[in-house]
A and B are shown apart, each in its own frame.
Chain A
Amino acid sequence: ETGVTQTPRHLVMGMTNKKSLKCEQHLGHNAMYWYKQSAKKPLELMFVYNFKEQTENNSVPSRFSPECPNSSHLFLHLHTLQPEDSALYLCASSGKRGLGETQYFGPGTRLLVL
């Protein structure tokens, strides 16, 4: 897990708050991903960045806004979230985007929206 770090590890926010999740990878990878993991549901891919360019937005509501300033850092900006957005948010990276690539995950941010 030390290859991909995420901060904060836990976050409680009200529906009117604005917060950001941060992900950093120290593996020299070029692709980064945001996933949402809710109870009893499969991992949901949210966003994909490849060489700093967003290549996929998986129909994610606009209250989630990703930012990738460089290949090592990925942010997820949150605003006016809903209680159903409470979940574990996982960041992952891979050497590049493509078939057969192993993804390396961070420990996740446990988000609770009140």
Chain B
Amino acid sequence: SQQGEEDPQALSIQEGENATMNCSYKTSINNLQWYRQNSGRGLVHLILIRSNEREKHSGRLRVTLDTSKKSSSLLITASRAADTASYFCATDEDYGGSQGNLIFGKGTKLSVKP
């Protein structure tokens, strides 16, 4: 099955800088979602982008999707220390009984230093 793979695995930046994380997947998708996880906690949904969309914004977040390259990127602008977390992309499965299952990548661990 397909799986999102985030890149880089870890990213350390200063407060105020922008952070860019990338996700690649293997097969066609209907939707791609980004989630955030603070250390040892549950995941929080950030944004969903559909396969027919190329870019989406939500506050300081900007997500792009390139279906020809099977990749997505998450940009966090003007980062804050509170953005420190792991970020995961998740793609949906669209076949048989597994329709709607989310396949998560290993995540990018972002550290924003004050």
Contact present for A99 and B30 (CB under 8 Å):
yes
The interface residues of chain A lying within 8 Å CB-to-CB of B94 are: 99
Interface residues of B (CB under 8 A from A): 3, 30-31, 33, 35, 40-45, 48, 50, 88, 92, 94, 97-107
Contact present for B42 and A1 (CB under 8 Å):
yes
Contact present for B101 and A103 (CB under 8 Å):
no
Contact present for B45 and A42 (CB under 8 Å):
no
Interface residues of A (CB under 8 A from B): 1, 4, 6, 31, 40-43, 45, 48, 55-56, 88, 90, 92, 97-108, 110
Contact present for A4 and B42 (CB under 8 Å):
yes
Contact present for A104 and B30 (CB under 8 Å):
no
Contact present for A104 and B45 (CB under 8 Å):
yes
Q: A90 with B102: in contact, given A100-B31, A102-B33 (CB under 8 Å)?
A: no
Q: How far is the CA of A4 from the CA of B41 in the complex (A)?
A: 12
Contact present for B99 and A102 (CB under 8 Å):
no
Contact present for A103 and B92 (CB under 8 Å):
no
Contact present for B102 and A103 (CB under 8 Å):
yes
Q: A100 with B92: in contact, given A48-B101, A55-B97 (CB under 8 Å)?
A: yes
The interface residues of chain A lying within 8 Å CB-to-CB of B31 are: 99-100
Report which residue of B31, B33, B41, B44 has the largest number of chain A beta carbons within 10 angstroms of its beta carbon: B41
